[in-house]
Amino acid sequence: MSQSHIILTQTFVQTNLLQKLVARSYFATLKTQFANLLYTSDTKVELDKLWYKLLAQGLVLQPNLSAKKDFTEILLSFYTHYSQPTLLFLGNLSSFSLQMQEGMLKLLEEPPKNLQIILFAQNRSNILPTIASRCWFHNLKSDLVIKILDQNLLAQTQKKLPPVLDFCRSLLSDKKVSVPDLKIVEREELNFWLWQVQFYLENFYKQQPDSKYFNKLTKIIEARKLNEQNLQKKFIFGWLNLT
């Protein structure tokens, strides 16, 4: 069984908190499915206490990949003996260059015994097939993602874009929605905001499977795809019939 895992976050989350949840889940069950990730009743103090204990014991490894050190040299340092199950967090694949992704293939395919490698990613389609074939994928459920959203990015989008719930209600009732000043909105912020809109529309549709909800949801999903294609932001809002 592969010892390399990619956790798909689907959107922007607090990575430090997610790492602590993964570590708690893994060492609580010592199973690689991370099935208990939704169990989030631990307080921040409890999670922090466990995390620092695991770090001190060397059971969690968190290398500084931004340091001015050869990436291959960093990876080679993990080829050692691990007497106990150990988690190695290698960060988010979106921050890895193509060269870095290719350089980690051997470690992902043949990690030392007892070393479980954890990577995060937002979109499976952007992952090299050679990496995907060497890893287990785990999808985070939307209700967990909502609990651990990146608070800084959330604050930025709240300042620049319409409140998500208000926007959804207006969209569903075909009310006119004012378009924000798109010049000050970063593409990452727009993607994050659209994901939140999609989440709420999906919940509306689950509660009341109405064709109108489905059509609006389809529009939002397509808008997210258009945004990922780096089209002008005004075209994205135009697609939603807001301009």
- Tens-place pLDDT, residues 161-204: 989 998 888 888 888 777 788 888 898 899 899 989 998 898 88
Q: What is the pLDDT of residue 1?
A: 54
Residue type, 159: K
Q: How far apart (Å, rounded) are the C-alpha atoms in residues 123 and 121?
A: 6
Task: Judge if 173 and 225 occupy the same domain.
Answer: yes
Task: Judge if 67 and 171 occupy the same domain.
Answer: no
* Residue 141: half-sphere exposure toward Cβ, Cα within 13 Å: 10
Q: How far apart (Å, rounded) are the C-alpha atoms in residues 24 and 39?
A: 10
Cβ atoms of 121 and 9 within 8 Å: the answer is: yes
Task: Judge if 45 and 131 occupy the same domain.
Answer: yes
Task: Judge if 172 and 209 occupy the same domain.
Answer: yes
Q: What is the pLDDT of residue 193?
A: 92
Task: Judge if 138 and 89 occupy the same domain.
Answer: yes
Q: How far apart (Å, rounded) are the C-alpha atoms in residues 60 and 105?
A: 21
Q: How far apart (Å, rounded) are the C-alpha atoms in residues 128 and 116?
A: 20
Question: From residue 164, how far is each of 96, 157, 194, 235 by CA, in Å?
Answer: 31, 10, 9, 20
Q: How far apart (Å, rounded) are the C-alpha atoms in residues 85 and 113?
A: 8
Do strands 60-61 and 4-8 pair parallel, antiparallel, or not at all (unpaired)? unpaired
Domain count within the chain: 2
Q: What is the CATH classification number for the domain harbouring 76? A: 3.40.50.300
Q: How far apart (Å, rounded) are the C-alpha atoms in residues 215 and 222?
A: 11
- What is the pLDDT of the chain when averaged over all its residues? 85
- Pick the closest to residue 61 from 36, 49, 84, 78 (CA basis): 78
- Pick the closest to residue 151 from 192, 110, 105, 209 (CA basis): 192
Cα radius of gyration rounded to whole Å, the chain? 20
Q: How far apart (Å, rounded) are the C-alpha atoms in residues 164 and 55?
A: 38
Task: Judge if 182 and 89 occupy the same domain.
Answer: no
Task: Judge if 98 and 176 occupy the same domain.
Answer: no
Over residues 48-57, the mean pLDDT reads: 93
Q: What are residue 194's phi and psi, to 5 degrees?
A: -65, -35
- Of 120, 147, 174, the residue at which a domain comes to its end is 147
Residue with tokens 């993990």: 78
Q: What is the pLDDT of residue 238?
A: 77
Task: Judge if 23 and 74 occupy the same domain.
Answer: yes
Q: Output the pTM of the full model.
A: 0.80
Q: How far apart (Å, rounded) are the C-alpha atoms in residues 134 and 109?
A: 6
- Pick the closest to residue 134 from 113, 108, 111, 114 (CA basis): 108
- Of 98, 127, 147, the residue at which a domain comes to its end is 147
Q: Domain range holding 160?
A: 151-239
Task: Judge if 174 and 235 occupy the same domain.
Answer: yes
- Of 92, 122, 147, the residue at which a domain comes to its end is 147
Q: How far apart (Å, rounded) are the C-alpha atoms in residues 156 and 27?
A: 35
Task: Judge if 11 and 130 occupy the same domain.
Answer: yes
Task: Judge if 183 and 221 occupy the same domain.
Answer: yes
Q: What is the pLDDT of residue 42?
A: 65
Task: Judge if 61 and 180 occupy the same domain.
Answer: no
Instruction: Identify the band that residue 225 occupies on the pLDDT scale cut at 50, 70 and 90.
Output: confident
